Amino acid sequence: MPFRAIVLPLLAFSLASCAIKPKGPSYSEVTLEAKPNQALVVMYRTLAKPYSYDVDVVVDEQRVEILRDNTFVAFDVAAGKHVIRSDWSVFSGQHDSQIELEVTAGEIYYLAVDADTVMSGYSVIPGVTGYVEYDHISTTTLIDPVKAITEIKKCCVKYGISIIDPKSMKKVD
């Protein structure tokens, strides 16, 4: 009885969380412009496994946003070189990914976060019927603006737009 009381609600919650569509304005409903003294980075995530886990967006070791499936976020950064990382929860089994990006003030940069879990092999252990091995693949990639905007318009809604102080890289409320 305790097994059912614990496992069944957790299973139902897990399945329901995969079906929840994010809410927010579409790309066409949002005006995104880079400020003259900063660059604007737009990160988006189409369906990327594992679906129910959010990705922390980290810029130069400072967490600036959360990215959910089928959403995009935008944030300002100072001109220059930045390390932008997609941090997955340890429970997702997914590996983090990062990109070093040199940005110019007044420009907009589009980054896609993608991830997958693929079967990499099947092993047989003596006395055990076998087990499946999985590889977790995660990427954060600079995307051509035309391609990125097309993909964002098809899939994504705005989850949040942060305002980051370009000197301190801290979120401004």
**What does the pLDDT profile of the chain (173 residues) look like in tens digits?**
554 545 444 444 444 444 455 667 777 778 889 999 999 999 998 876 767 788 899 999 999 998 888 889 999 999 999 999 988 888 877 778 889 999 999 999 999 988 766 655 555 555 555 555 555 667 788 999 999 999 888 888 887 645 455 455 555 54
Q: Are the CB atoms for 106 and 117 separated by under 8 Å?
A: no
User: Which pLDDT does position 47 carry in this prediction?
Assistant: 75
Task: Tell me which long-range contacts 64-68 makes (C-beta under 8 A, separation of at least 24).
Answer: 64/162, 64/164, 64/169, 64/171, 65/159, 65/160, 65/162, 66/159, 66/160, 67/43, 67/113, 67/159, 68/22, 68/159
Closest CA to 18 of 94, 69, 88, 92: 69
Q: Which amino acid is at 1?
A: M
Contact 48, 69 (CB under 8 A): yes
Task: Note the pLDDT of residue 16.
Answer: 42
| pTM check: above 0.95 | no
**How far apart (Å, rounded) are the C-alpha atoms in residues 135 and 85?**
20
Q: Which residues pair with 84 in a beta bridge?
A: 59, 99
φ and ψ of 73, to 5 deg: -130, 160
| Domains delineated in the chain | 23-161 (2.60.40.2890)
